[in-house]
Structure 1
Amino acid sequence: MNAVDDKTVVKEYFNSTGFDRWRRIYGDGEVNKVQLDIRSGHQQTVDQVLNWLQADGNLADLSICDAGCGVGSLSIPLAEAGAKVNASDISEKMVGEAKERAEAALGNTSNPTFSVQDLEALTGKYHTVICLDVLIHYPQDKAAEMISHLAAMAESRIILSFAPKTCALSILKKIGSFFPGPSKATRAYLHREADVVKILESQGFSVQRQEMTRTRFYFSRILEATRS
């Protein structure tokens, strides 16, 4: 499957069966044990990023791009904390859900702003660019293009999460105990941390903070990099 096909599959999946599945996972309703585990892992990733940004003490002064915002799990609390947030997702249904959740949490406000956009079609400059749990859907060559594009929009900092490619996780993926079956998910890609770091360095960034989220069914490496 080539990169263009992957993008088409991701868009179609999150506008159909994937939307209902992940809306439940990212919500607070009843789900099965695997989905609950993934919900917990994703929330831990979101919370870690929020902790980093809140610890810096300047969220209200920041402009932030949340690329691949999903249902707004990160965008909404960032806006609540005072940051100016531009959120986007390739899925029209995901963006619609994010807008509804933002209105319920924040009222009728223009922050965050939401748009349906392909990540590589994003433009503008932001203090911080964030992309969580998106790279897992794309192969290394496409991920490299995406990271480079996001880095070009970041004036000061970029935060990424990805499923790290290690021997253990590669084995788990191969035997099917890591990711849901093909009827329930898009193709899943692991990425070597060294490769991601190399791409960031080529764009003038250096890693400052890193964290690993690990549950039974969810694994995500988070990197924060700033302009050197």
Structure 2
Amino acid sequence: MTQTDYIRRTGEIEHYFDRTALDAWKRLTGDQPVSGIRATVRKGREEMRNTLAGWLPQDLAGWRILDAGCGGGVLSLELMERGADVVGIDLSAQMVAFARQRAEERRAANPGAPGSVRFESGDLLDARLGRFDAVVSMDVLIHYAAGDATRVLEQLAERTSRRLIFTLAPGSWLLRAMLATGSLFPRRDRSPAIHPVNPERVVERLVARPEMAGWSAGRMHRVAVGFYISQAMEVTRP
């Protein structure tokens, strides 16, 4: 993946969430009732978010965590309340503004919560964000081909000391069928392309790279609820 390709891809994602689907994603990640396909997606995302959060210690005091692609900030706030110092980064400035508003409401309701959270709009690979004990990235790398996702993970690992926890789109026949159905909609109504991959192979190739010496494959878990299909993967080092 060249820098030009990366910039073009991130631009497409930013445009979608800032201008095309902002209101829909606010409803999906909020408390408002949803129905039909969105209800299955919300249920699947909740299960996945619980999975990723559950792979981290309950007591996160002293941990600095990057929520890469934080969206509306739900996961960031949960980790903050478990004691972590969290940086939530997202391409969408509008979603970051929504996350900040949610954080203010959560702090007002629970002013004594441990940890901290800071939401920023920008590139998850920005070295100025600093170093982290762990990186969590939910349903972000699903928009990258296998080789590109590997390179993104490798760059994140350079600034991470303990764990990479992320999701990939598994190359199942069901997901491919749903993506084919989605391609029938007008282009303006489509989300950024999802790239089905073999998650186990992506991780196997990632940890085999010389730059990943000391890292090893960890847990995996697939969530398939209606129109939501995603696979959680973990890479760790002592």
Question: Is the 8 Å Cα contact of residues 68 and 119 (structure 1) preserved in structure 2?
Answer: yes
Judging changes above 3 Å, is the alpha-carbon distance between structure 1 residues 181 and 209 closer, same or farther for their aligned structure 2 residues? Answer: farther
For residues 51-82 of structure 1, the C-alpha deviation after alignment (integer angstroms, 9 at most, x for no partner) is: 222xx344123111111100001000110111
Q: Within 5 Å, which residues of 2 pair with 1:1-228?
A: 2-53=5-56, 56-107=57-108, 111-122=116-127, 123-176=129-182, 182=187, 183-193=189-199, 194-202=201-209, 203-204=212-213, 205-227=215-237
2-structure distance, mates of 1:73, 1:198: 31
Q: How far is 1:164 from its partner?
A: 0.9
Shift of 1:92: 0.4
Distance apart, 1:167 and its partner CA:
3.8
Runs ≥4 residues deviating over 6 A: none
Letter of the 2:177 partner, please give it.
I
The answer to whether the 8 Å contact 1:147/1:200 transfers is no
**TM-score, length of structure 1 as denominator length:** 0.89
- CA deviations 1:188-221 (Å, max 9, x no partner) are 2112211233114422321221111110100111
Aligned residue for 1:74, secondary structure, equals helix
- For the Cα contact (< 8 Å) 1:3–1:139, is it kept in 2? no
In structure 2, stretches of 5+ residues that fail to align are none
- Could you tell me which runs of 5 or more consecutive residues in structure 1 were left unpaired when the two chains were aligned: none
| Percent of aligned pairs sharing the same letter | 30
Cα distance in 2, alignment partners of residues 120 and 128 from structure 1? 14
Give the aligned length.
Answer: 224
Give yes or no for contact 2:203–2:235 (8 Å, CA) kept in 1: no
Q: Structure 2 vs 1, CA of residues 201 and 70 (structure 1 numbering), >3 Å: closer, same or farther?
A: farther
Distance 1:195 1:99, change over 3 A: same
Over aligned residue pairs, what C-alpha RMSD do you find? 2.3
Offset at residue 141 of structure 1 (A): 3.4
| Distance across 1 between alignment mates of 2:117 and 2:131 | 16
What CA deviation, in whole Å up to 9, does each residue of 1:94-114 have, x standing for no partner? 110000101111237982011
- Cα distance in structure 2, aligned partners of 1:102 and 1:200: 35
SS of the counterpart of 1:186?
coil
Contact 1:42–1:218 under 8 Å retained in 2: yes
